[in-house]
């Protein structure tokens, strides 16, 4: 059976180690700014516009839609990269915790 002083000393050792680790943290990296779309919205022609004006509107509208789709794809790629980095950090943290647990288990043997 483990005595109370041993548990207390183990808890103190973990607290000292955690304090040491927290003191060594690197400054946090600021998140990248999300750019806003810079796609030009076409101006809708009035009810009395001629067919050439509607043709031009349709061409501008198609370019606007393509610009928005490109923006969404680029933004999604940025978001995916950020999510991947976060998941990598979580895996690193979990691996470190597993390593600590293994070391503590080895000490208890």
For 79-99, the pLDDT digits (tens) are: 999 999 999 999 999 999 999
Confidence band, pLDDT 50/70/90 cuts, at residue 1: very low
For residue 3, tell me if it sits in a domain: no
For residue 102, tell me if it sits in a domain: yes
Percent of the chain with pLDDT over 70: 76
For residue 15, tell me if it sits in a domain: no
For residue 9, tell me if it sits in a domain: no
- Structural domain total, the chain: 1
Buried b (16+ CB within 10 A) or exposed e, 37-69: eeeeebeebeeeeeeeeeeeeeeeeeeeeeeee
pTM value? 0.61
Residue 90's domain comprises: 32-108
For residue 79, tell me if it sits in a domain: yes
For residue 4, tell me if it sits in a domain: no
């Amino acid at each position: 059976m483990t005595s109370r002083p041993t548990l207390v000393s183990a808890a103190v050792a973990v607290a000292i180690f955690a304090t040491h680790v927290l003191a060594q943290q690197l400054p946090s990296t600021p998140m990248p700014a999300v750019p806003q779309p810079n796609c030009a919205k076409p101006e809708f022609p009035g009810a009395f516009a001629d067919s050439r004006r509607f043709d031009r509107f349709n061409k501008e509208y198609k370019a606007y839609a393509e610009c928005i789709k490109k923006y969404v794809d680029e933004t999604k790629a940025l978001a995916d990269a950020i999510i991947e980095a976060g998941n990598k950090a979580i895996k690193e943290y979990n691996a470190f915790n597993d390593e600590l647990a293994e070391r503590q288990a080895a000490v208890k043997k």
